[in-house]
Structure 1
Amino acid sequence: MARVGRYDSRTIDKIYTHVTKKMDDNILDLLDNL
């Protein structure tokens, strides 16, 4: 976390969980359309 700089770990967690949630939704949509 030190290398990131001004962001605290909570901010990083929010960013990553937001991104992975979006990817999960996209993957579910793709699988539904197979």
Structure 2
Amino acid sequence: LLDDGDSIARWFERCLDLHGGIGRQVAAAA
């Protein structure tokens, strides 16, 4: 379990980037 605030922030940003990428792919396919 991560207890480092910076690591959690990076992980959260990665998740947002991943969802954002999926959203762009869906928008491009639509």
TM exceeds 0.5?
Answer: yes
Letter in structure 2 aligned against 1:13: A
Deviating 4+ runs (over 3 angstroms): none
Long gaps (5+) in structure 2: none
Q: CA RMSD in A?
A: 1.5
Flag the structure with larger Rg.
Answer: 1
Q: Percent identity?
A: 7
TM-score by length of 1: 0.75
Q: Distance in 1 between matches of 2:22 and 2:5?
A: 26
- Going from structure 1 to structure 2, the CA distance change for 1:33 and 1:6 (only over 3 Å counts) comes to closer
**What count of residue pairs does the alignment treat as equivalent?**
30
Equivalent residues in 2 for 1:1-34, closer than 5 Å: 7-34=3-30
